[in-house]
Structure 1
Amino acid sequence: MDTPDPATLLAAYDAQLRRDGEVYPASSVTPLGPLLLATFGTTRGFITYSTLATEEGPATTESVRALVEGALEHYRAQRAIRQVEWKTRGHDHAPGLHEALVAAGFVPEEPESVMIGDAGLLALDVDLPEGVAVRQVHDEADVRRMMQVAGEIFGDDDETVQAMTEELLDRMRSGDSVELWVAEADSEIVSTGRLEPVEGTEFAGVWGGATRADMRGRGIYRALTAARARSAIAHGKRWINSDSTEFSRPILERSGLLKVTTTTPYVWKR
Structure 2
Amino acid sequence: MDHAAVLALFDRETREGARPEGPGTRVERGARVVRRIGAAHGWNGIVWSDLDESTADEAIAEQIRCFTGLGREFEWKLYGHDLPADLGERLRAAGFAPEPEETVMVAEIAGLALDVEPPEGIRLVPVTDATGVDLVADVHTKAFGTDSTWLRHQLQAQLIDDPDHVVVVVALAGDEPVSSARLELVPGTGFAGLWGGGTVPHWRGRGIYRALVAHRARIAASRGYRHLQVDATDRSRPILARLGFEALTTTTPYLFL
- Residue 234 (str. 1) matches residue 212 (str. 2): no
1:37 is matched by which residue type in structure 2? R
Q: Percent identity?
A: 37
- Residue 184 (str. 1) matches residue 172 (str. 2): yes
Q: Are residues 19 and 179 of structure 1, via their aligned partners in 2, closer, same or farther at CA, if it must alter by over 3 Å? A: same
Match of 1:252 in 2: 240
- Residue 143 (str. 1) matches residue 133 (str. 2): yes
Q: What is the TM-score with the length of structure 1 in the denominator?
A: 0.87
> 1:99 offset after TM fit, Å?
2.0
Match of 1:66 in 2: 58
> 1:193 offset after TM fit, Å?
0.7
Contact 1:108 1:265 in 2 (8 A): yes
2:45 is matched by which residue type in structure 1? F
2:232 is matched by which residue type in structure 1? S
Match of 1:166 in 2: 153
Contact 2:105 2:230 in 1 (8 A): yes
Q: Are residues 88 and 239 of structure 1, via their aligned partners in 2, closer, same or farther at CA, if it must alter by over 3 Å? A: same
Contact 1:41 1:167 in 2 (8 A): no
- Residue 31 (str. 1) matches residue 39 (str. 2): no
Q: Deviations over 1:192-216 (max 9, x none)?
A: 1110111111111111111112211
> 1:94 offset after TM fit, Å?
2.1
Q: What is the TM-score with the length of structure 2 in the denominator?
A: 0.92
Q: Are residues 188 and 119 of structure 1, via their aligned partners in 2, closer, same or farther at CA, if it must alter by over 3 Å? A: same
> 1:123 offset after TM fit, Å?
5.5
Q: Are residues 221 and 119 of structure 1, via their aligned partners in 2, closer, same or farther at CA, if it must alter by over 3 Å? A: same
Q: Are residues 139 and 119 of structure 1, via their aligned partners in 2, closer, same or farther at CA, if it must alter by over 3 Å? A: same
List gaps (5 residues or longer) in structure 2. none
> 1:253 offset after TM fit, Å?
0.7
> 1:150 offset after TM fit, Å?
1.0
Match of 2:50 in 1: 52
Aligned pairs for 1:91-102 (under 5 A) are 91-102=81-92
Q: Deviations over 1:141-163 (max 9, x none)?
A: 11122023213322223xxx212
Contact 1:89 1:264 in 2 (8 A): yes
SS state at 1:169 partner:
helix
Match of 1:56 in 2: none
SS state at 1:21 partner:
coil
SS state at 2:210 partner:
helix
Contact 2:135 2:170 in 1 (8 A): no
Q: Are residues 14 and 71 of structure 1, via their aligned partners in 2, closer, same or farther at CA, if it must alter by over 3 Å? A: same
Match of 1:18 in 2: 15
In 1, Cα distance between the equivalents of 2:97 and 2:134? 28
Contact 2:129 2:156 in 1 (8 A): no
> 1:251 offset after TM fit, Å?
0.9
- The farther-off stretch of 176-185 and 30-39 is 30-39
In 2, Cα distance between the equivalents of 1:14 and 1:37? 14
Contact 1:132 1:184 in 2 (8 A): yes
2:57 is matched by which residue type in structure 1? R
Supply the RMSD in Å over aligned alpha carbons: 1.8
List gaps (5 residues or longer) in structure 1. 54-58
- The farther-off stretch of 162-171 and 105-114 is 162-171
In 1, Cα distance between the equivalents of 2:57 and 2:123? 49
Which of 198, 202, 215 is residue 214 of structure 1 equivalent to?
202
Q: Deviations over 1:21-53 (max 9, x none)?
A: 35433623333431122222234421121x423
SS state at 1:261 partner:
strand
Match of 2:162 in 1: 175
